[in-house]
Structure 1
């Protein structure tokens, strides 16, 4: 007789092997078929499916993330006994330390070098002398052949991302190292938002079980060095406040609902792909069992859209222009037939094989309206839609982080006795990526 424990183990192994097979295939196929999949930077051996190169390097600073990971594994039992507020604060500090020490393996340059590139947001933000003119003329500067065109990251996103970095510049955060520190610090609060959301939906014990998977996530490799880190935080807090609006007293609904809508609406002006937050927002409402916050959230989101439109930027006019620029560039040389599945392999480096192991358990628990299961599996659906769309070809290790955050909690549904070895595996994945590869972001 096959027991429930045996079935859980068998499905976890099958799912893990599926993820591992995709990773191996994504690495081997380009070399075996002599295909240039256009990732990494010239001068080094590329490492598809990641936008990275094989550049192994281990120095004394590599000890720091190992110390953090071991500390989390050893001390987590004590952390879990803390009161809720202290628990959440400690979880965020641990996440920050894990993210910071991974980035700092490369020294201060690990947090600053990417912000010095012309293709990053900082360069274009420093060229903005008038926000109103930047917004009203934003679409005209997207095409690569436009006079004074935006560079790759600003052109590839709505102006919300540019405005965020203009804001940092205006308040005096101009040094690239401190820009990196600020972005990383804000971004890592997304972990707090995820825990708040799960607890608001009625499951504090489940939020506590999910926390260590967020702390030692391999995704931290990119959370410490990418502008998309801001997107993760804004989107996560929007969903967390929507969860609060859906579960608090009726008097609290308008305030939390409108702010949630503003953050979720602004998310779509940070990245075009974050329209895929809609399924996650619906998932929050389904778990909460009520749509009473929906009208207020829509009002907040529409207010953001109206503000940008009145300022001269129409999202729906900009996207077709971006589509043309996207396919005028490297996207036209990245084969859909490879990337439609290799994207999932690249995503695996950020989510870890523990997340793959938990997918069957998550799918089984969706019918129970378990918040981790519903949000995690909805995030997987968003990832699937994104890769099928063809507008995600490589670089998804950073692009998909707003969705990956929620999938990372799925291992909380696995047996508790599996936690330590699987968490160690997650930490090892992040550490090996940082030490062996030169990631582009």
Structure 2
């Protein structure tokens, strides 16, 4: 070894350590923020200043004793995934990989939820505040129910009156198709929510290349956010937004009729978002980032626009005017004794700690590099693959910040953040494969939350 090489090695090691410091600092901030959010929440509740939740910042309660033996199946799924997912992501043909990731994500979500028994998969939907409890008012005349939705809003269940009419109509259509009981609705939500793993992987491949998409797959499939995919309706919202964005990304990479069909279908799905939840408007930052990265041709943009207007036009013609729905929902929100009574100053910070629980330490470690790559791409006016992979994640983070600062999301964000958190997981693609230590940390985070809390949605 020459003297020059001897000098280079310590210099390279020092440079690597310097680059790694912000990432480990981000992990420390992640852990500290979560700890502080629960500590302050405990103090506020003890002082009688935060009585809406039993375990703020989560709308949950602590378990009396962690059911260790019940977590064994989920722990076994996690261990198998940590070992197998990096291998599958590297070796499977791309055509098979999204489906394999979908299956792995579904197994992980079901294993976590089943730690409380198989009945726990459908239990969240059986609550008197949930959408299925409001279906009795829809069954006699769905069209009349839609036309009078805003006027009769105060008489609906909590989640029906807190959202536009589309989620309730989706569950009504599922019930009308034949299956009885909330078990089928739970299966539908879990299948849809976990399919977003495939959609996000497809999007990352379109904007950043196959290598980074493969690196993202294990983190997408083995995410702490899976805790709230079984079974919160927000998991269905995630699927709609993710597949709409994926179809947009595919349309930009295709030509001819297939591109137009994909763009129109993507627009149709994205046009559903404001009618699923009023809080999904900031999620449009993600498809906007994909548009900037892919720069689709004008006729693709025209097809996208045609798809986007279908759902708003249909609901307007059928008697539901979206601005009136926003106004009426805001009025019921302000007069209720629920979210509006929670502390803005506490939750504007604590909500972000909850986002950290959904995304895990691997995303916290990758986020400084993602932001750095994106900053470099903006300066150079050319997107590198790491910057392209980071862009949807950062766009989702911007959407979260906008919604958080608005003050309409005070608590219960463990489900509200699900459509956003899944995109943040794409930033973990910047870990060098196989990154099994970070995968294990993600799984451990989810197992710890499942062991220590009882949530209405997991």
Identify the residue that residue 102 of structure 1 maps to in structure 2. 112
Cα pair 1:15 1:357 within 8 Å, conserved:
yes
Please state if 1:36 is matched with 2:46: no
Instruction: Find the partner of 1:414 among 414, 423, 431.
Output: 431
Cα pair 1:53 1:438 within 8 Å, conserved:
yes
Q: Matched residue pairs, number? A: 430
State the 1:320 CA deviation: 1.3
Identify the residue that residue 43 of structure 1 maps to in structure 2. none
State the 1:279 CA deviation: 1.3
What SS does the aligned partner of 2:224 have?
coil
Q: What do the CA deviations read for 1:129-151 (whole angstroms, capped 9, x no partner)?
A: 211111101101223xxxxx111
Please state if 1:313 is matched with 2:324: no
Structure 2 counterparts to residues 245-264 of structure 1, below 5 A:
245-264=251-270
Identify the residue that residue 434 of structure 1 maps to in structure 2. 450
State the 1:254 CA deviation: 2.0
State the alpha-carbon separation in 1 of the partners of residues 16 and 169 from structure 2.
51
Please state if 1:234 is matched with 2:268: no
State the 1:77 CA deviation: 4.0
Instruction: Find the partner of 1:286 among 285, 292, 296.
Output: 292
User: When the two structures are superposed, what TM-score results if normalisation uses the length of structure 2?
Assistant: 0.90
Q: Which moved more, 1:25-34 or 1:370-379?
A: 25-34
- The CA RMSD measured in Å over matched residues stands at 1.6
Cα pair 2:153 2:161 within 8 Å, conserved:
yes
Please state if 1:340 is matched with 2:356: no
State the 1:278 CA deviation: 2.0
User: When the two structures are superposed, what TM-score results if normalisation uses the length of structure 1?
Assistant: 0.94
Unpaired runs of at least 5, structure 1: 41-45, 144-148
Structure 2 counterparts to residues 388-427 of structure 1, below 5 A:
388-416=405-433, 419-427=435-443
Instruction: Find the partner of 2:193 among 178, 187, 190.
Output: 187
State the 1:332 CA deviation: 2.8
Cα pair 2:37 2:353 within 8 Å, conserved:
yes
Cα pair 1:119 1:153 within 8 Å, conserved:
yes
Cα pair 2:274 2:281 within 8 Å, conserved:
yes
Instruction: Find the partner of 2:83 among 71, 74, 85.
Output: 74
What SS does the aligned partner of 1:313 have?
coil
* Change in CA separation of 1:39 and 1:9 when aligned onto 2, cut-off 3 Å: farther
State the alpha-carbon separation in 1 of the partners of residues 19 and 143 from structure 2.
56
Identify the residue that residue 157 of structure 1 maps to in structure 2. 163
What SS does the aligned partner of 2:122 have?
helix
State the 1:257 CA deviation: 1.1
Identify the residue that residue 143 of structure 2 maps to in structure 1. 132
Identify the residue that residue 55 of structure 2 maps to in structure 1. 47
Please state if 1:121 is matched with 2:131: yes
Please state if 1:200 is matched with 2:206: yes
State the alpha-carbon separation in 2 of the partners of residues 358 and 291 from structure 1.
32
Identify the residue that residue 267 of structure 1 maps to in structure 2. 273
Identify the residue that residue 357 of structure 1 maps to in structure 2. 365
State the 1:8 CA deviation: 3.1
Identify the residue that residue 381 of structure 1 maps to in structure 2. 398
Cα pair 2:83 2:436 within 8 Å, conserved:
no
Cα pair 1:235 1:402 within 8 Å, conserved:
yes
State the 1:16 CA deviation: 1.3
State the alpha-carbon separation in 2 of the partners of residues 184 and 152 from structure 1.
22
Identify the residue that residue 5 of structure 1 maps to in structure 2. 16
State the 1:59 CA deviation: 5.1
Please state if 1:93 is matched with 2:103: yes
Please state if 1:24 is matched with 2:35: yes
Unpaired runs of at least 5, structure 2: 1-10, 378-382
Cα pair 1:57 1:435 within 8 Å, conserved:
yes
Cα pair 2:162 2:329 within 8 Å, conserved:
yes
